[in-house]
Amino acid sequence: METVWAGPALAGGTLGDDVIGYDVEASDGGVGTVVRLSPVPGFDHLVIDAGVWKFGRSVVVPAGMVTGVDHAARSVTVGCTKDQIKDAPRFERDQDTGDVLYLSRLGAYYESLTAGGE
């Protein structure tokens, strides 16, 4: 994985707005629904409505954590667990998705997962 922010190479092209509304599946179950993509230059990510699972909050997952998209099933698969997503730096408000300091902390967290350090 080149960077946690780079979206996956998909057969149909890049990760696009067509995944809005898709269910998100972690390695151990459902996380929520994609509500938007935020392609901040160099920091592409998904904003996921996690519903009651995360106390009604949204979570942010870098596009590089996406391991697959199934358009027929309307689902996005991510290469981490629900607990790993819960333990990520907390998404507080919409401004966070444009805040480079927040995104840098989030990226460092997810990069530590891909390096094998949980």
In a domain, 3, yes or no: no
In a domain, 11, yes or no: no
In a domain, 106, yes or no: yes
- The structure's pTM equals 0.84
Q: Quick check: 22 and 69 in contact, CB under 8 A?
A: yes
- Tell me the CA distances in angstroms from 64 to 18, 31, 53, 61, 75, one per residue in order: 17, 17, 23, 8, 16
- The number of C-alpha atoms within 13 Å of 99 and in the hemisphere containing its C-beta is 13
Q: What is the CATH number of the domain that holds 99?
A: 2.30.30.240
In a domain, 31, yes or no: yes
Q: Is the pLDDT of residue 13 over 80?
A: no
Give 34-89 pLDDT, tens digit per residue: 998 886 778 889 999 987 655 567 899 999 999 999 999 999 999 999 999 989 99
In a domain, 5, yes or no: no
Q: Which of 24-28, 29-33, 98-102 has the lowest mean pLDDT?
A: 98-102
Number of independent structural domains in the chain: 1
- Cβ atoms within 10 Å, residue 49: 17
In a domain, 81, yes or no: yes
Residue 36's domain comprises 17-114
In a domain, 8, yes or no: no
Rounded Cα–Cα distance for residues 20 and 91 (Å): 18
Give 85-110 pLDDT, tens digit per residue: 989 998 777 666 668 888 899 999 99
Q: Quick check: 60 and 45 in contact, CB under 8 A?
A: yes
In a domain, 77, yes or no: yes
